[in-house]
Amino acid sequence: MLRKPILWLACLSALLINASAWAELAPYEARYSIYRNGKLIGKLEIGLAKNGETWELNSVGSGTHGLARILRANDKEKVTGQFSEGQFRPLSHTRHTRVAGIDDRWNSTFDWDADQVTVVHDNKKNYVLALQGEALDPLSLKIEMRRRLDEGNADLSFLMVEEDEIEEQNFRQLESEWLETSLGCMETLPIEKIRNNNRRYTRAWHAPALGNIEVRVEHGKVGGDHLEMRITELSFGGSDVIARPGCSAMQSGNGLITSTDP
């Protein structure tokens, strides 16, 4: 019971960049609101920064309302890595969740020359896993997802370091969709995770106009909890992204929008 609020945050935050194509990659900061069954429960802040040849992506989620706030739920995740032959290669990945004073820590160290990753849980349990030349942590997987979408690459199959194992994860791209967001009306590329259990679902809407950053994520179970992460603010290189007109305004103004998702 105690872990549920942090799992709500973890599920969503886990659902959040070619040599020349990535010339446009830039540091950014994004803020999201997190909802459970339509009610606000928390917030998520994601930041990408560069230090020399190393990139660092940070994700910080916290419970701000309801039970998640009462239990002081928070989730901190960070990956550092570099680009090699046009692809991001993580060097280290850490995750720290805390709820009601109980901590859960995972640390992963990548050795690409040895083709293995060492995962340490709570400084006690060690796992040495084979990278198979391509396995990524959850944050790096999202970076690679953005890269493939930018390239128009239809291959959305990945190997991910999922705590103590390497797990295959497959996604499919759905038809483009206009989406109402706090940043205005956005044309998006919806991505859906392929699951054996069709009662569970995970979908993310990426906005090409914003470098394929996720502007909404949904995760849940049919007949159960429905979780959403919605973008509220975004800045690139220290400059705020100004909200564009909403879908209704664009539709009435020039007729370009034929459908909306309010």
Residues 207-238: tens digit of each pLDDT = 999 999 999 999 999 989 999 999 999 998 78
> CA 65, CA 96: separation in Å to the nearest integer?
20
Q: Is residue 261 part of a domain?
A: no
Q: Is residue 110 part of a domain?
A: yes
Q: What is the pTM of this model?
A: 0.85
Q: Is residue 141 part of a domain?
A: yes
Angle in degrees, CA 77, 218, 222, rounded to 5:
125
> CA 62, CA 157: separation in Å to the nearest integer?
30
Q: Is residue 64 part of a domain?
A: yes
Q: Is residue 115 part of a domain?
A: yes
Domain housing 90:
4-254
Backbone phi, psi, residue 225, to 5°:
-65, 140
Q: Is residue 260 part of a domain?
A: no
Helices marked H in the chain: 4-14, 66-70, 138-151, 247-254
Q: Is residue 219 part of a domain?
A: yes
Residue type present at position 221: K
Structural domain count of the chain: 1
Residues 73-127: tens digit of each pLDDT:
999 999 999 998 888 999 999 999 999 999 999 999 999 999 999 999 999 889 9
Helices marked H in 37-93: 66-70
Reference 260, options 205, 196, 219; nearest CA is 205
Q: Is residue 259 part of a domain?
A: no
